[in-house]
Amino acid sequence: MPGKTPDKEPVENGGYRGGKDITEKDLKSKAKKASKKEGDDEMTVVVPPAKSSKQSSAPPPNDADGDVLMDDAEKAAEGEVKVDPVVQTINDIKSNFALLDRAVAQFDARFSLRALRSISSIRRRLTPDILAQAISETYASSSASADVAKRMLLAIGRPDVSLGRQPGPEMEIDSEPKAAAAKNGARKEVKEVIPEVDVFLGILTQVLLHDSKRHQQGLEFSQYLAERIRSLNRRTLDSLSAKVYFYYSLFAEQIAPLPPSPLSPIVSIRPTLLAALRTAVLRKDVDTQASVIVLLLRNYLLTSHISQADLLVSHTQFPENAANNQVARFLYYLGRTRAIQLRYTEAHEHLTAATRKAPSSACALGFSQTATKLLLVVELLMGDIPDRATFRQPNMETALRPYFLLVQAVRVGNLEDFEGIIADHADTFRRDGTYTLILRLRQNVIKTGIRMMSLSYSRISLRDICIRLHLGSEESAEYIVAKAIRDGVIEATLDRERGFMKSKEVGDVYATREPGEAFHDRIRACLALHDESVKAMRFPMNQHRLELKNAQEAREREREMAKEIQEGDLDEDDLGGDFEGM
């Protein structure tokens, strides 16, 4: 890296906004070298005279240069005392560039994630003008990625903003780079912008277009951005590209004709997503892989291509160490697929995990609500009655109200109430996508009704059962009760001649295998929790090399010692009681 050494600036002292200082050890040797430089604080920058022309032809990944730019932006920000929201936002955006740079330099995805996390706070303040200004200040008109910048400006509707504007109006333009550097930290740098920054700004553009509901433009721009990401093969882009695909498919969903129609644009983006998945798998790009699998699943489920979703799941392996949120989403969609396929036990397992993994903050409330609703229905379908406490959670209470009524009807086994609730809340259930599942509950209601009847009466005529459960005829009642007996819902016998059902004495639950099973389930859950906590521990990257080195040294010492013993320089006593200890 030729352009690296000269203009390395004191990074640590610059101070990153929001306390984003560096705590991780520099692991790459390259980075180490850079950190050494950080020591000499007031190092003057020796900029090669023909900097700008040389830089524009240089290859894009020039992190050190990128660093300087960021630092300058930081300094400029601190220089300005007035807190203009526009300037503040621009600076916030730019402060993320530093993180991205660091992510590239140290090859640590955590910095990119941190940058992505800040999007939500920037989002609220983002306007086309702010973004246009940020873009124009980041890119020089002569730089290689200027066309990216132009596309972004075009997408946000500010095509006339020129590139290469200076960070502040009060800044005088100095044609001599050296002087500028000496004065205020190399302000007039015309440098190559790393692709990560391109993509980051691209994501901001997507966010902006999405918030302003310009979906068509968003889709077109996303197509362009996805294309560009595909052409760049950089591991440091992984988490960013995952986000790009996310917005890409979000735009496609919003464009008419809306999803359930088979002509919706989401069908046409499937090849792109599948190609992205393939590439991500080949490149071991976990972030994109996880996010694209989730998007594809969502895509299939929106058009009710259940079997295709099932095939996708069976042919792909969801990355184990994917981000928690993606895992939660994946589990939700998987649970949904399984519920439709009548595999309730699996569905229940996946949905429980999804609700537990869902972030507890208010921003993901919608997800938890949706997942909980589905979970409740699946629990009912399995013949369980959901916990009363689920409905008491303050942030869920109103959303779950129809489901609460539904549970009550199923619990009591009242078919009339049940049908009434379905009719009353059909729209809600349809909107939640649980309607067809709820229709399947009818048999459960009947079964519960029969169970209640069997518990309350030692003997009851089929006619009474028929009347109480609102069944069509006595024959129906007879068949239904017989089926319930066979399925093990109740312990009873039927008398055909006299037309009644006779309940058997209920045995002691503790004599059955049920308590053992419940106990086993709990132990298994605890063990799984333990395993997962062990897996979730994070160890610093490459730390083991250090240990290996120590081990190597220890071995060498041992060898030396052995040698000395052999040579008779050392008695056994000198080794102390070590052997015992071992």
Residues of this chain that interact with other proteins (CB under 8 A) are: 257, 260-263, 303-307, 310, 340-343, 426, 430, 435-436, 439-440, 442-443, 446, 471-473, 475-476, 479-486, 492-497, 513, 516, 520, 523, 527, 530
CA gap 547, 580 in Å, rounded: 24
**What's the closest the beta carbon of residue 245 comes to other proteins, in angstroms?**
23
Q: Which is nearer to other proteins, 125 or 305 (CB)?
A: 305
Please give the angle made by the CA atoms of 513, 518 and 524, to the nearest 5 degrees.
Answer: 120
φ, ψ (nearest 5 deg) of residue 503: -80, 145
CA gap 309, 325 in Å, rounded: 20
Q: Which is nearer to other proteins, 371 or 381 (CB)?
A: 381
Query: Is 404 strand, coil or helix?
Result: helix
Q: What's the token pair of residue 523?
A: 């132990």
**What's the closest the beta carbon of residue 504 comes to other proteins, in angstroms?**
11
CA distances from 347 to 315, 340, 364, 449 (A): 18, 9, 21, 25
Beta carbons of 237 and 196 less than 8 angstroms apart: yes
Q: Which is nearer to other proteins, 12 or 495 (CB)?
A: 495
Estimate the share of the chain in helix, then strand, then coil, as percent rounded to the nearest 5: 65, 0, 30
Q: What's the token pair of residue 46?
A: 């020796």
Measuring CA to CA, which residue among 288, 310, 292 is closest to residue 301? Answer: 310
Q: Which is nearer to other proteins, 103 or 339 (CB)?
A: 339
**What's the closest the beta carbon of residue 265 comes to other proteins, in angstroms?**
13
Q: Within 13 Å, how many C-alpha atoms sit on residue 383's CB side?
A: 12
Q: Which strands, in side-by-side order, build the sheet including 459-461?
A: 459-461, 500-503, 492-495
Query: Is 156 strand, coil or helix?
Result: coil
Q: Which is nearer to other proteins, 133 or 444 (CB)?
A: 444
**What's the closest the beta carbon of residue 304 comes to other proteins, in angstroms?**
4
**What's the closest the beta carbon of residue 300 comes to other proteins, in angstroms?**
11
The sign of the dihedral angle between the CA atoms of 275, 281, 286, 290 is positive
Q: Which is nearer to other proteins, 104 or 485 (CB)?
A: 485
CA gap 542, 494 in Å, rounded: 71
Q: Which is nearer to other proteins, 416 or 553 (CB)?
A: 416
**What's the closest the beta carbon of residue 443 comes to other proteins, in angstroms?**
5
**What's the closest the beta carbon of residue 508 comes to other proteins, in angstroms?**
15
**What's the closest the beta carbon of residue 480 comes to other proteins, in angstroms?**
4
**What's the closest the beta carbon of residue 61 comes to other proteins, in angstroms?**
40
CA distances from 252 to 206, 220, 263, 264 (A): 12, 10, 11, 8
**What's the closest the beta carbon of residue 312 comes to other proteins, in angstroms?**
14
**What's the closest the beta carbon of residue 213 comes to other proteins, in angstroms?**
23
**What's the closest the beta carbon of residue 530 comes to other proteins, in angstroms?**
6
Measuring CA to CA, which residue among 328, 327, 346 is closest to residue 337? Answer: 346
CA gap 5, 525 in Å, rounded: 54
Residue type, 175: S
Q: Which is nearer to other proteins, 472 or 577 (CB)?
A: 472
Q: Which is nearer to other proteins, 307 or 552 (CB)?
A: 307
φ, ψ (nearest 5 deg) of residue 20: -90, 50
β-pairing, 500-503 vs 459-461, is antiparallel
Beta carbons of 301 and 336 less than 8 angstroms apart: yes
Q: For residue 501, what is the DSSP state?
A: E
**What's the closest the beta carbon of residue 20 comes to other proteins, in angstroms?**
38
Q: Which is nearer to other proteins, 245 or 332 (CB)?
A: 332
**What's the closest the beta carbon of residue 437 comes to other proteins, in angstroms?**
9
Residue type, 369: Q
Q: Which is nearer to other proteins, 516 or 540 (CB)?
A: 516
Measuring CA to CA, which residue among 101, 91, 84 is closest to residue 31? Answer: 101
Query: Is 459 strand, coil or helix?
Result: strand
Q: Which is nearer to other proteins, 530 or 559 (CB)?
A: 530
Query: Is 380 strand, coil or helix?
Result: helix
Q: Which is nearer to other proteins, 325 or 341 (CB)?
A: 341
Q: Which is nearer to other proteins, 257 or 366 (CB)?
A: 257
- Neighbour-count burial for 91-130, b at 16+ CB within 10 Å, e otherwise: bbbbbbbbbbbbbbbbebbebbebbbebbeebeeebebeb
